[in-house]
Amino acid sequence: MDERLFQAAVDGFRAHFGYDPALLVRAPGRVNLLGEHTDYNEGFVLPVAVDRAAWVAASPRPDSTVRLVALDMGTEATFPLDPIPPRQGDWADYPRGVAWALAGAGFSLAGMDAVLTSDVPIGAGLSSSAAVEVAFAWTWKELSGLPLERTELALLCQRAENEYVGVRCGIMDQMASVWGRAGHALLLDCRTLAVETVPIPPGVAIVVADTLVRRELAASEYNRRRQECEEAVQILADYIPGTRALRDVSLEDLDRFGGHLPPTLLRRARHVVRSNIRVLWAVAAFRAGDLAAVGKAMKYSHLSLRDDYQVSSPELDTLAEAAWEVPGCWGARLTGAGFGGCIVALVAEEAVPELARHLEEVYQARFGRRPTVTVCRASDGAQSVKRAT
Ligand code: GLA
């Protein structure tokens, strides 16, 4: 898969620009095992960078023009760096937004010729946009020699998405894309931005099943959930001194003071507070090799996303419930923001064919189409792959 994209990026660059790229960059998407909608509440998440990635082949230009080609869409975009134009509502908002965030942080950027190709499915909850942002930020870091640490780079990509593109995402996706490690999940503390690697035991497969449903309203619903969490914090802070985020609220706090919240806000807060506990509990279980406990946490996470956070859908519920029925599958849940997209399942390697068969059969019977079922491997984070000569 990677070989194919590497070659496609090189060939595409040559075909469009008529010379060889100086640099190839790969930045992965991610699948999140646990801790959903906790990142912007300064909580804990457990993502895995996957073997699906955005690739950029690039060369610097002597002027301050950026010429881009999206190979998969067959579209081109050209923009100046001085000044960077405002948001246009197209795919190039991601690289433009990244340039805007880097320039805003005081970095001076090289113009470039670049092509982009990616096999992270768009809108599936696997962070296709973060992969593109990180790939371009990494490209500029290399081409312009920017002294950027991984976490700093992730934060600037998040700023691009929050302030330039206009989606108020948390920090999980960009951190997973920069810090990914082959064979490992990542425990991220989204308050301190500390990263710990958690080995995935041998014999464990991570399966992603895509409902193929994409929701138009995902971005506005996402922003609304975030707003609701902020409202809950404002109310709870009157009763629990020092509360800055839902991260600061314990289960006991919620039992005592949750009654002051309107019912919808109580549900949202309950999801976040319990999710943070589940992530830490599951990491301990992972390290102890107790996959049944991890799976149980995944199942409760799905129920909480369905009932309290209300971001599931009949398609996601059907796939998760079907996965729970398969022997050898420890757990499954929707992954990413929700509203459509994918479920993730943790399953014994030998049970993968049966899981795939069952998911396809159940989904086909109910919705008349086959979900895409793939095994994902935990992969390394953003990197320059090779300087072409
Ligand atoms: C999207 C956002 C992340 C995170 C998840 C939900 O992927 O980009 O920051 O909030 O949704 O957990």
Label residue 1 by pLDDT band (50, 70, 90): low
**Cα distance between residue 126 and residue 120, in whole Å:** 7
Positions marked active-site? 173
**Cα distance between residue 201 and residue 116, in whole Å:** 34
pLDDT given at position 389: 42
Ligand 1 atom at shortest distance from the alpha carbon of 40: 10
Q: Average pLDDT of 135-152?
A: 98
pLDDT tens digits for range 112-127: 999 999 999 998 999 9
Q: Please choose from 30, 31, 37 the residue to mutate so as to test ligand 1's pocket, defined by most ligand atoms within 8 A of CB.
A: 37
In this structure, the residue with its CA closest to atom 1 of ligand 1 is: 337
Ligand 1 atom at shortest distance from the alpha carbon of 172: 9
Please give the distance, rounded to the nearest whole angstrom, from the Cα atom of residue 389 to the centre of ligand 1: 38
Residues above pLDDT 70, as percent of the chain: 99
Q: What is the average pLDDT score of the chain?
A: 96
Label residue 72 by pLDDT band (50, 70, 90): very high
**Cα distance between residue 72 and residue 19, in whole Å:** 20
Ligand 1 atom at shortest distance from the alpha carbon of 125: 7
Q: Please choose from 169, 191, 310 the residue to mutate so as to test ligand 1's pocket, defined by most ligand atoms within 8 A of CB.
A: 169
CA distances (Å), 196 to each of 219, 230, 267, 272, 373, in order?
A: 29, 27, 29, 21, 28
In this structure, the residue with its CA closest to atom 11 of ligand 1 is: 337
pLDDT given at position 216: 73
Determine contact, residues 349/324, Cβ cutoff 8 Å: no
Residue bearing tokens 């990914």: 180
Please give the distance, rounded to the nearest whole angstrom, from the Cα atom of residue 51 to the centre of ligand 1: 19
Domain spans in the chain, listed from the N-terminal domain onward: 3-199
pTM given for the model: 0.97
pLDDT tens digits for range 317-340: 999 999 999 999 999 999 999 999
Say if domain 3-199 classifies as CATH 3.30.230.10.
yes
Q: Average pLDDT of 8-30?
A: 97
pLDDT tens digits for range 338-385: 999 999 999 999 999 999 999 999 999 999 999 999 999 999 999 999
Label residue 2 by pLDDT band (50, 70, 90): confident
Please give the distance, rounded to the nearest whole angstrom, from the Cα atom of residue 172 to the centre of ligand 1: 6
